């Protein structure tokens, strides 16, 4: 008996049709691109002064009006030359700005108070942010107290005109000096 040869039509195809695989992969890629959210670091919201071609005005400031806050490469905090924990910084800034005991080494009015922040190039970014947040929260606590006293509500709930009155009393005078390399100098 002769075996009949199978024709190519009778053979079972072992190939997988991959023609639509590219379409499916493309659709999945679009789906994941559309549905995925990517978090973006927003950074620190600071309003910079407008650009000017004129040289900056240099003024001689009274030492009693400046609260110098230094953060070194070891993430240690120095406030007016004295070592301090970050947890105590906000209270120190509030005391400096308000000067409740009429300390002659502190400014006479909150308008005269300037907080100067300077960090080392080796300062940890997390430490820098923690110190910066403490300085800002000191001003916000003062503004919230003043707005509660004047208008019976928190600073964020005030109208623009009301906010201006509170800011006149407690302007945020936060100066940031260029980072230095104290850690590198001390290492030599």
Task: Tell which residue, 72, 6, 19, 59, has the closest CA to residue 175.
Answer: 59
Asked whether the beta carbons of 79 and 92 are under 8 A apart, the reply is yes
Determine the pLDDT at residue 187: 42
Rounded Cα distance, 150 and 162, in Å: 9
Give 162's strand partners: none
User: Average pLDDT in the 96-102 region?
Assistant: 92
Determine the pLDDT at residue 77: 92
State the CB neighbour count (10 A cutoff) for residue 72.
Answer: 19
The separation between CA 102 and the C-alpha centre of its own chain, rounded to angstroms, equals 33
Specify the residue for token string 């800002």: 136
User: Average pLDDT in the 110-139 region?
Assistant: 91
Strands 77-79 and 66-71: antiparallel
Highest mean pLDDT among 14-28, 40-54, 156-170: 156-170
Task: Tell which residue, 110, 105, 108, has the closest CA to residue 168.
Answer: 110
pLDDT digits (tens, 9 = 90+) for 61-78: 788 999 999 998 888 999
How much is the pTM? 0.68
Residue 162: pLDDT above 80? Answer: yes
Give 79's strand partners: 69, 82
Determine the pLDDT at residue 138: 95
Determine the pLDDT at residue 105: 92
Compute the mean pLDDT over every residue in the chain, rounded to the nearest whole number.
Answer: 84
Rounded Cα distance, 185 and 180, in Å: 10
Percent of the chain's residues with pLDDT above 70: 85
> 60 or 118: whose pLDDT is higher?
118
> 129 or 8: whose pLDDT is higher?
129
CA angle (38 as vertex; 37, 42 as ends), nearest 5: 125
Residues in the chain: 188
In degrees to the nearest 10, what's the CA dihedral of 169, 95, 118, 83?
Answer: 180
Rounded Cα distance, 132 and 116, in Å: 11
Determine the pLDDT at residue 149: 93
Residue 154: pLDDT above 90? Answer: yes
């Amino acid at each position: 008996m002769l075996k009949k040869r199978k024709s190519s039509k009778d053979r079972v195809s072992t190939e997988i049709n991959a023609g639509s695989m590219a379409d499916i992969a493309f659709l999945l890629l679009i789906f994941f691109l559309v549905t995925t959210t990517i978090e973006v670091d927003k950074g620190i919201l600071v309003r910079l002064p407008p650009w000017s071609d004129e040289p900056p005005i240099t003024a001689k400031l009274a030492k009693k009006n400046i609260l110098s806050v230094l953060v070194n490469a070891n993430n240690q905090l120095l406030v007016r030359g004295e070592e301090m924990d970050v947890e105590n910084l906000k209270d120190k800034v509030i005391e400096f700005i308000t000067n409740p005991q009429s300390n002659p080494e502190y400014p006479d009015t909150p308008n005269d108070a300037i907080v100067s922040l300077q960090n080392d190039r080796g300062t940890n970014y997390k430490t820098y942010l923690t110190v910066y947040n403490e300085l800002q929260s000191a001003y916000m606590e003062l503004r919230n107290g003043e707005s509660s006293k004047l208008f019976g509500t928190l600073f964020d709930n005030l109208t623009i005109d009301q906010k201006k009155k509170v800011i006149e009393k407690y302007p945020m005078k936060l100066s940031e000096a260029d980072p230095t390399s104290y850690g590198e100098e001390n290492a030599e």
